[in-house]
Amino acid sequence: MLSVIDCYCYVNLSIYNPAAYFTVLFGELIFLHSDEYTHRQPSFIDFDHTLSLTHAGAYLNLDDIIASSERTSCRLRVTLPGLAPLLLSDATNGSANQTHEAADSEETENRVQLDVPAGTKLELPVWLAVALGSGRRQLLSVDVPLIYRDAFAEVFDADPCVVDLRRKAPYYYMLLCTLLNLEVTKVGQIADTAARVFQTRMRYVMNAALNASRQDTLFSTSKLDNLEMALFRIGQSDRIRIERWTVRHEDKIEPAAQLKTLLAQSQSKRIRSLVEPNLTDIS
């Protein structure tokens, strides 16, 4: 398992090219499938591996589904026929209330009301906006969520620890992995900002995990997003294990099996060297 200090040192490498290595850097932060976890009793931190960005975009990853369901503003580039009742919350189906005596002109007008004209501004989930706004045929232009815009970028540049990601963007890093698929000019700049934010906030997470008492835990974690909370739990769990080891609450440390074999062989040789001279004297 990566310790908090290892994660911090690894993320420091992103200062050279954070945009290119963003997914790789954050994807290796939480890896709870190592052999050292097989002998432990199950705990709630063992299920945090779904927050790892190596699982971003996985079909059955519930955290990725929740993150990509956040709505963002979009603007249509083409007209979508017959989708107004589905995409527009205030759209009504005029043909449902239409009487049999309505004129042909009224039917045409109601039919037009069912279409979503080009230039309409919509609020769509990120997963749907990315699917329609990327690729060869881009049906709409996507605006990134508010937390990734220039207004928050200035706040992040001043002091990233001030922003309450728990309230404004609980899946800040995982949602950004989905937005990287968009062909937006500012995606690289957003990734650079997120890398700097993580580097700075990681110091705070380390200090909180290693030094915060039980009374200060709620205050220390009130502004962390879900990925940072998972790293906090890992660091806090390791700190508790070290404290238990120092007071001898853990299992007794024993030498490895190979070392035991070497000790037994050396001990038998020593006994043989002591016994053989005595046997020669007797004979």
The larger pLDDT score, comparing residue 85 to residue 148, is at 148
Task: Read off the pLDDT of each residue in 84-101 and give the average, rounded to a whole number.
Answer: 51
Q: pLDDT-based confidence at 207, cuts 50/70/90?
A: confident
For residues 278 and 155, membership in a common domain is answered with no
Mean pLDDT across 60-88:
84
Judgement on whether residues 98 and 174 belong to the same structural domain of the protein: no
pLDDT, tens digit, 9 for 90 and up, residues 183-206 = 777 788 888 999 999 999 998 888
Higher local confidence (pLDDT), 225 or 47: 225
| Whether residue 150 sits in one domain with residue 64 | yes
Tens digit of pLDDT for each residue in 237-271?
888 888 888 887 766 667 778 888 888 888 877 77
pLDDT range class, residue 81, cuts 50, 70, 90: confident
Looking at the fold, whether 152 and 236 belong to one and the same domain comes out as yes
Q: How would you list the strands of the sheet with 140-142, edge to edge? A: 121-125, 71-76, 140-142
**Averaged confidence pLDDT in the chain:** 72
Whether 254 is in a domain gets the answer no
The enclosing H or E element of 193 equals: helix 187-211
Do 51 and 11 lie in a common domain?
yes
C-alpha distances out from residue 229 to 6, 90, 222, Å: 17, 39, 9
Dist CA 232 CA 175 (whole Å)? 20
Same domain, 201 and 229: yes
Q: 236 and 98 share a domain?
A: no
Residues 157 and 91 in one domain: no
Residue 75: pLDDT over 50 = yes
Residues 151 and 233 in one domain: yes
Tell me the pLDDT band of 31, cut-offs 50, 70 and 90: very low
- 9 lies in some domain: yes
Over range 57-62, report the average pLDDT: 77
Q: pLDDT tier at 99 (50, 70, 90 boundaries)? A: very low
Is 23 in the same domain as 97?
A: no
Asked whether residue 10 is assigned to any structural domain, the reply reads yes
Segment 203-220 shows an average pLDDT of 78
pLDDT for 90 equals: 42
Of residues 159 and 57, the one with the higher pLDDT is: 159
| 64 and 151 co-located in one domain | yes
The confidence band for 233, taking pLDDT boundaries of 50, 70 and 90, is confident
Domains held by the chain: number: 3
Q: Is the pLDDT of residue 172 over 90?
A: yes
pLDDT for 256 equals 77
Question: Exposure of 134 by Cβ count < 10 A (0-12 exposed, 13-18 middle, 19+ buried)?
Answer: middle
Note whether residue 183 is domain-resident.
yes
| Residue of 96 and 267 predicted with greater confidence | 267
Q: What is the CATH number of the domain that holds 170?
A: 1.20.58.2050
Alpha-carbon distance of 49 to 230, in angstroms, equals: 9
Is 149 in the same domain as 241? yes
**Domain contains 174:** yes
Range of the domain at 179: 4-70+145-246
C-alpha closest to that of 23 among 146, 143, 180: 180
- pLDDT at residue 281 is higher than 70: no
| Boundary-marking domain end, from 113, 134, 164 | 113
Within a domain: 270: yes
Taking a C-beta distance cutoff of 8 angstroms, is the pair 265, 254 a contact?
no
